[in-house]
Structure 1
C-alpha cells in the first residue's frame, strides 16, 4: 500500500488504454455537452474539428476511468482530491482514438493542519495513439501518512 512517505517527486508512470467509440462520444455529449460537433457528423464537418469529436469533459471522464483502474493495480492510501489545476484540452479526441496517461509527481508536502495527511501534485498528460498530447492538467492528491507522529519537515 502506497503512503505519503512512498511518493517520489520526479517519478513518472505511464498507464491506461482507453478506446474512444463513436457511440460513447454521442451518448456522453447527449447527456452532458450537447453541442452539435459532439453529436452530428454533418455539423461537426463544418467546424474546425472537421469531424465528430469527443467533449473535453468526456476526455476528462475517460482519463478518470484510467486513473481509477491504475489505482486498482497500484494500491494507495488515497484520501481523495481537492481538485485539479490548469486543465488544458490541447487537441481534439475523435472516435477511434486510443488514449493513455503519463503522470509525473511534481511536488509533495505534509499537511500542517492534519498530521495524518499528505498532499501531492502530479502533472498528467493524456496522449492519443499517435503520441500527441490531447489534454493535460495538474492533479492534487490527498494521501494518508504512514507515520503521522513523525516531524513535519519544511
Structure 2
C-alpha cells in the first residue's frame, strides 16, 4: 500500500493507455456535451477541428479512468480529491487516438486538522499517440498517512 510518507516531491510516474473510439465520443457527447462537432462528421468538418472530436470533458473522464486504474494498480491509500487548481485542453482528441498520462508530485503536506490525512498536488499531462500534450492539469489529492503521529 502506498501512503503519504511514500510520496516524494519530484516523483514522476507514467501510466495508462486509453483508446478513443468514435462510438464513445458520440455517446458521451450525446449525453453530456451535445455540440455538433462532437456528434456529427459533417458538422465537425466545417469547424476548426476539421473532424469529429471528443469533448474536453470526455477527455477528463478518460483521464480519470486511467488515474483510477493506476491508483488501484499501485494500491494507493487515496481518499479522493478536494479539486483541481488548473485545467487546460491543449489539443483536440479524436477517435483513433491513444492516450497516456505522466504525472509529477509538486507539493505535499500533512493536514493540520486531520493527522491521518496528507494532501499532495500533482502536475498531470495527457499525451496522444504522437506524444503531443492534449490535456494539462494541476490536481490535489488526499491520501492516508501511515503514521498519524507524524513520525516519518
User: What band does the TM-score fall into relative to the shorter chain?
Assistant: over 0.9
Instruction: State the SS of the aligned residue for 2:38.
Output: helix
Aligned mates of 2:149, 2:13 — CA distance in 1:
30
Match of 2:72 in 1: 72
The alignment of Structure 1 onto Structure 2 pairs a total of residues equal to: 152
Aligned mates of 1:44, 1:150 — CA distance in 2:
54
Aligned mates of 2:63, 2:5 — CA distance in 1:
26
Match of 2:87 in 1: 87
Q: TM-score, normalised by structure 1?
A: 0.96
Runs of 4+ in structure 1 over 4 Å off: none
Contact 2:86–2:139 (Cα < 8 Å) also in 1: no
User: 1:5-58, CA deviations, whole angstroms, 9 ceiling, x for partnerless residues?
Assistant: 000100110001000000000000000000000000100011100000000000
Q: TM-score, normalised by structure 2?
A: 0.98
Aligned mates of 1:26, 1:85 — CA distance in 2:
28
Contact 2:44–2:53 (Cα < 8 Å) also in 1: yes
Aligned mates of 2:129, 2:114 — CA distance in 1:
41
Structure 1 residue ranges without an equivalent (≥5): none
Match of 1:149 in 2: 149
Contact 2:63–2:101 (Cα < 8 Å) also in 1: yes
Structure 2 residue ranges without an equivalent (≥5): none
Shift of 1:151: 6.1
RMSD: 1.1
Match of 2:26 in 1: 26
Aligned mates of 2:41, 2:2 — CA distance in 1:
45
Q: Which stretch shows the higher mean deviation, 20-29 or 143-152? A: 143-152
Instruction: State the SS of the aligned residue for 1:69.
Output: helix
Match of 2:117 in 1: 117
Shift of 1:150: 2.2
User: 1:57-115, CA deviations, whole angstroms, 9 ceiling, x for partnerless residues?
Assistant: 00000000011111121001111100111100000000000000000000000111111
Aligned mates of 2:69, 2:86 — CA distance in 1:
23
